[in-house]
Amino acid sequence: MSATSWAWLVLLLPLLGSLFIALGFRVLPAKVAGAIGTAAIGLAFLCGIGALLCLLGESPDARHHASSLWDYASAAGLDIKLGVYVDPLSVFMVLVVTGVSTLIHLYSYGYMQSDEGYHRFFSYLNFFVFSMLLLVLAGNFVLLIVGWAFVGFASYALISFWYRRATATRAGMKAFVINVVGDIGLTLAAFLIFRELGTFEYGEVFAKAPHVFHTNEWSVTAICLLLLVGAFAKSAQLPFHTWLPDAMEGPTPVSSLIHAATMVTAGVYLIARTHVLFVLAPTAADIAAFVGLATLLVAGTIALVMTDLKRAIAYSTMSQIGYMIMGVSIGAYSAGLFHLMTHAFFKALLFMAAGSIIAAMANEQNIDKMSGFGKAMRFTSFTMLCGGLALAAFPGTSGFFSKDEILAYASARGGMYEIFTVLGYFGALLTAIYTFRLIFRVLPGRPCAEAEELIETGHVHHAHPFNPATGEEEDTDVGFPGSEHHIAEQSWPMRAAMGVLAFLALFAGLVQVPGLDETITKFLDPVFADSPLAAIHPSVGASWAGLAIGAAISLSGIGIAYWLYMVRPEAPGALERRLRPLHTFLANKWYFDELIELLVVRPALAVGRFANDTFERFVVDGLITGTAGTVRGAGGVVRAVQNGFVRSYALLLIAGFAGLALYFLLSSS
């Protein structure tokens, strides 16, 4: 079996799973559907391993294959195929996506039980994995756009999964609309690429580009900027980020899979895949890096004041993706992708733990109401701590090695890029603070009422389902989890998934220790060999110095959080009161939503209103009714001739005769 055959299998299995569950949802029992869904992704992961082994069996230079099943269109200069491109980058992404997805499917198997929409959930989830794999394995830009759009749709379907909730459907629409804006950018970029280079296939595009474009020529810069629009919308970077916090309306496994591990990393993948073009347009690459940096800092500051547990983790995701975007834009390709991998592990884990806690709280997500779960839910607390440590880049965890590698590369590149290093470390400090803010608020301390109930009775707190955001009662018929909530301690699939991820979050960093083994870098080298930026390596000493600084910052961040939330619990309140304006600004998410409402939503609504009231009524309707009225008027004029008076008919006769005679007289004279 060649690598491309494995790749086709990887694509096929989730699709089959999705279709099978969708078509058989009436006959399949719930557990069987869940098992099929999980098994489909698990098998896809194994096929990914197969592809990996095939690739490893070849020499590094030969590790890129393209294979196509059939032609979509080959006419008039177009040649679009249904084709995949298998190289270390795509196999890496496939493994990350399928691996984490399998674990999340396993988690959902337990978490989503007793949900009315269980089958729908697994069908959608499998479809999402299929789309993400299509995006990653696509061999030409057209198929990339197809996968991109499918992923957007899957995200919409899963965010508004509990569709009777008004907030959920609104969030789904918001996510979709912003993603479509990104799609426009991506599509225009593809058009431009075709116009300049005449092809959509990856291999040809990346081979031709250095010969056709000069550095910083307007066309390649435009292409890269449009690609960035797409990447930023999908990866929730400024200014297209407002959909991600609202997307937390979806079930927790959705947040964990789509909005932490996979979909939001599509932008990072895109930049890494098209790195050849970004090398030719350094301005665009620098813009991307600055946007990533800005997002990193903005999201970090907002996460400091968020009181909704899932939204706080969402802002943390935004911030970490800022690191990744920054990384692949400045040339730290393998570092950025390594961070992608480790982030998938610990962020998915954090969401899973958060889901468990929220379930224990009967869907209450406000951390002000949570405390003392460390005693009530030991397993969940332990895994949450693992994830938190990795996120805060505690020395030795996976996040530690990945995040600091990006910053070390930035300082190795030198010059202007030192800013990235400095501000990146500041961002790391913020990360550590807000992560442990969450952990110290929720886990230690006196147990809250729900936690008490859990400790004493072992039962999860049962509450009448209502939407905490709007206060309205939930509709449990369509799939809101109803009265049964599932926590990790009581569900073995959840425990299994979280356990594996906890292990990975803690120890996955050991594959890329500077100076010791750099498996990721070596694996991805052939892909990025054509970029001059990849040749820049921080020296081992500089790397370890960076790691030391990172460790210091992480520990100090944890220490500050400890001091603020454990030693002096009244200090945060006092700080908030002292810095009230700043706090309000941050709590309102830097007023981005209001800005977009003002700049985009209101003008669009005004245009719509104008079109409906004025244009439609006067121009379009006016044209049609006006035509009818004109015809009717003309008819009325003509009808007036038939007035019934004999003498007027006689007059017409005589007048006609006189006229004719005149004509003949004049024409013959």
Partner 1 sequence: MNTSWYIVLSSLLFATGAVGILIRRSPMVILLCLELMLNAGNLALVAFSRMVGNQQGQVFALVVMVIAACEVVVGLGLIVAIFRRKLPLNVDDLRELRG
Partner 2 sequence: MEAVLFFLAAIGALGGAIGVIAMRNPFYSVLALIAHLFSLAVLFLLLTAAFVAAAQVVVYAGAVMVLYVFVVAYVGAGESAWEPIPGQRLLAPLLGIAIFVELTIAIASSALRALSTHGPEVGAGFGNPAAIGRLLLEKFLLPFEATSILLLLAAVGAIVLANRKRVGGATADAGRGMDGTPSEHSAKRSEGVPSIP
Please give the torsion angle defined by the CA atoms of residues 199, 204, 208 and 210, in that order, rounded to the nearest 10 degrees: 120
Give yes or no for residue 651 binding partner 2 (CB under 8 A): yes
Give yes or no for residue 662 binding partner 2 (CB under 8 A): yes
The span from the CA of 130 to the CA of 133, in Å, is 5
* Minimum CB distance to partner 1, residue 638 (Å): 8
* Minimum CB distance to partner 1, residue 637 (Å): 12
Please identify which residue in 211, 457, 471, 643 interacts with partner 1, judged by CB under 8 A. Answer: 643
Q: And the tokens for 638?
A: 């003509």
Give yes or no for residue 59 binding partner 1 (CB under 8 A): no
The span from the CA of 439 to the CA of 557, in Å, is 13
Site for partner 2 in 611-650 (CB under 8 A): 645, 647-648
Residue 665: contacted member of partner 2, partner 1, none (CB under 5 to 8 Å, by partner type): partner 2
Burial environment of residue 598 by CB neighbours within 10 A (0 to 12, 13 to 18, 19 or more): exposed
Q: How far is the first Cα of the chain from the last one, in angstroms, to the nearest whole number? A: 100
Residue 669: contacted member of partner 1, partner 2, none (CB under 5 to 8 Å, by partner type): partner 2
A 10 A CB-CB count for 347 gives 29
Q: Which is nearer to partner 1, 628 or 650 (CB)?
A: 650
Please identify which residue in 62, 624, 650, 660 interacts with partner 1, judged by CB under 8 A. Answer: 650
Q: Where are the beta strands (DSSP E) in 115-252?
A: none
* Minimum CB distance to partner 2, residue 658 (Å): 5
Residue 641: contacted member of partner 2, partner 1, none (CB under 5 to 8 Å, by partner type): partner 1
Burial environment of residue 62 by CB neighbours within 10 A (0 to 12, 13 to 18, 19 or more): exposed
List all residues 6 or more positions away from 113 whose beta carbon is below 8 Å from its beta carbon.
30, 484, 486, 491
Residue 655: contacted member of partner 1, partner 2, none (CB under 5 to 8 Å, by partner type): partner 2
Give yes or no for residue 669 binding partner 2 (CB under 8 A): yes
Residue keyed to tokens 């003498």: 647
Cβ 464 vs Cβ 458: under 8 Å: no
List all residues 6 or more positions away from 325 whose beta carbon is below 8 Å from its beta carbon.
231, 235, 237, 267, 268, 271, 288, 289, 291, 292, 295, 336
Give yes or no for residue 665 binding partner 2 (CB under 8 A): yes
Give yes or no for residue 651 binding partner 1 (CB under 8 A): yes
List residues bridging with 291 in a β-sheet: none
What single letter denotes the amino acid at residue 59?
S
Site for partner 2 in 380-409 (CB under 8 A): none
C-alpha torsion sign, points 620, 621, 622, 628: positive
Please identify which residue in 77, 532, 644, 666 interacts with partner 1, judged by CB under 8 A. Answer: 644
Q: Which is nearer to partner 1, 643 or 668 (CB)?
A: 643
Please give the torsion angle defined by the CA atoms of residues 328, 332, 335 and 337, in that order, rounded to the nearest 10 degrees: 30
Q: Which is nearer to partner 2, 619 or 662 (CB)?
A: 662
Residue 639: contacted member of partner 1, partner 2, none (CB under 5 to 8 Å, by partner type): partner 1
Give yes or no for residue 639 binding partner 1 (CB under 8 A): yes
Q: Which is nearer to partner 2, 76 or 665 (CB)?
A: 665
Cβ 108 vs Cβ 238: under 8 Å: no
Region from 21-29, 196-204, 569-577, 634-642 binding partner 1, contact rule CB under 8 A: 634-642
Give yes or no for residue 657 binding partner 2 (CB under 8 A): yes
Q: And the tokens for 444?
A: 């230690």
Binding residues for partner 2 (CB under 8 A)? 645, 647-648, 651, 654-655, 657-658, 661-662, 664-665, 669
